[in-house]
Amino acid sequence: MKELKERILREGKNLGNGILKVDGFINHQVDPTLMDACGRELARRFKDVGATKVLTAEISGIAPALMTAMHLGLPVVYARKHKPITMPDQVYLTLAPSHTKGRTVELIISPEYLAGGERVLIIDDFLASGATILGLVRLAEAAGAVVVGIGTLIEKAFEGGREALKPLGVPVESLACITRMEGNEILFAD
Amino acid sequence: MKELKERILREGKNLGNGILKVDGFINHQVDPTLMDACGRELARRFKDVGATKVLTAEISGIAPALMTAMHLGLPVVYARKHKPITMPDQVYLTLAPSHTKGRTVELIISPEYLAGGERVLIIDDFLASGATILGLVRLAEAAGAVVVGIGTLIEKAFEGGREALKPLGVPVESLACITRMEGNEILFAD
């Protein structure tokens, strides 16, 4: 998506070790107009997969997932990293290693909001190693739901996430696919 | 706001100790259509305060703040509770006691995204004791910004937040003001 790629080129910063700083418009400060456009585009790409629910992980997945869900007219569930007191004792929980955090995080969903037979579209801000997304896939499967698509804003193609998701056999879409980051240079797939 | 109050009456659950469970449409599963309507209404109420930025706290403030910011055409910043590696070493940080978590949490903002002279509209899901919002006010003041308004989805009037915010002298708006919760009964101010 042209608008997102241009913004990454203009404001994104390669911090080294595969870390792309986009916290001026995606994951600390958010540009709602850009996020709305990204949500609309992801909704367009997944309009025919028959999704019944959008699933993401807190924190930075919330904004793109909310906008995508709005344009699809679907509810969105965000997996929590800490169990709040409003959640029942029996939950779906999985562990996912976080590259940017350097540790393992919990992903927790209440069975109240993910039921067997649901068709789940997973949306997140980044597709890097795919570890967080595979955690969401495990939660969906634990609930007896089916994953029907995976969409992200930014893919870091050099971290192998797309290969890790391939066995799922579902469409994987990213709005900006980065093939290389070297110094100040950020290269996209097309 | 009629739509929100009806939803609270239909799906909200009083868990006791002042805890209202609304995680089926606000803070675990989110109804994007309702959230969009709430954001539009908050934007309408604050259209004349001259805000330049919307400020909230992760996690459950993100959805209402994003929608409000979208309708105002403003960027939104969410204070982080853990400093990510993409943030500079020098940050604005304050501590806020969390009633629902039973402990103190950190609220952190990068100086890159909150500058002196900005006019800040604070949006959050709940106004309870006001502790989180007062934490955001301290961050804004540390940055030399001015708070021009405070808006929330749900106010729990019996927890005193409105009185705590009164000395700020700014408009405080909530879309559903709960005066009493007893057993299965939830009462609104009007």
Given a cut of 80, whether residue B99 has pLDDT beyond it is no
Interchain contact A189–B (C-beta under 8 A): no
Assigned domain for A89 exists: no
The Cα A128–Cα B44 span in angstroms is: 39
Q: What's at A54, amino acid-wise? A: V
Residues in chain A within 8 Å Cβ distance of B181: none
The angle that helices B62-72 and A32-45 make with each other, rounded to 10 degrees, is 110
**pLDDT at position A99 over 90:** no
Cis ω for the linkage preceding B59 (within 30 of 0):
yes
pLDDT > 90? residue B103: no
Mean pLDDT of A30-51: 98
Cα separation of A140 and A122, whole Å?
A: 10
pLDDT exceeds 90 at position A151: yes
CA A87 distance to own-chain centroid: 23
Strand partners, A176: A154
The pLDDT of residue B101 is above 80? no
Contacts of B156 (CB under 8 A, 6+ apart): B18, B20, B126, B127, B128, B178, B181
| For helices B2-11 and B32-45, angle between their N-to-C axes, nearest 10 degrees | 140
Interface test with A, best of B15, B21, B30 (most A CBs within 10 A): B30
- Rounded to a whole number of angstroms, the distance from the CA of B66 to the nearest CA of chain A is 6
The answer to whether B66 contacts chain A (CB < 8 Å) is yes
User: Using the beta-carbon criterion (under 8 Å), do B23 and A73 form an inter-chain contact?
Assistant: no
DSSP-assigned states of every residue in A4-46: HHHHHHHH-EEEETTEEE-TTTTSSEE-HHHHHHHHHHHHHHT
Report the sign of the C-alpha dihedral through residues A63, A68, B7, B37, in that order. positive
Q: What is the percentage of chain A residues whose pLDDT exceeds 90? A: 93
Q: Which residues contact A67 (CB under 8 A, 6 or more apart)?
A: A35, A36, A38, A39, A40, A42, B32, B66
pLDDT tens track for B129-159: 999 999 999 999 999 999 999 999 999 999 9
For residue A102, what pLDDT band results from cuts at 50, 70 and 90? Answer: confident
Q: What is the pLDDT of residue A35?
A: 98
Q: Where would I find the H helices in chain A?
A: 2-11, 32-45, 62-72, 131-142, 161-165
Residue-number span of the structural domain to which A36 is assigned? 2-79+112-180
pLDDT surpassing 90 at residue B102: no
Which range (A155-159, B22-26, B102-106) has the least confidence? B102-106
pLDDT at A131: 96
Interface check A106 vs B, CB under 8 A = no
Greatest alpha-carbon pair distance for chain A in Å reads 48
pLDDT of residue B95: 96
- Name the band, by pLDDT with cuts 50, 70 and 90, for residue B190: confident
- Are residues B62 and A67, on separate chains, in Cβ contact within 8 Å? no
A49 assigned to some structural domain? yes
Specify the pLDDT at position B68.
98
Q: What's the mean pLDDT in B65-71?
A: 98
Q: Where are the beta strands (DSSP E) in B37-145?
A: 53-57, 76-79, 92-98, 103-109, 119-127
Q: What is the CATH number of the domain that holds A117?
A: 3.40.50.2020
Q: How far apart are CA B41 and CA B1, in angstroms?
A: 8
pLDDT at A111 over 80: yes
ipTM score of the complex?
0.96
Count of domains observed in chain A: 1
pLDDT category, A88, cuts 50, 70, 90?
Answer: very high
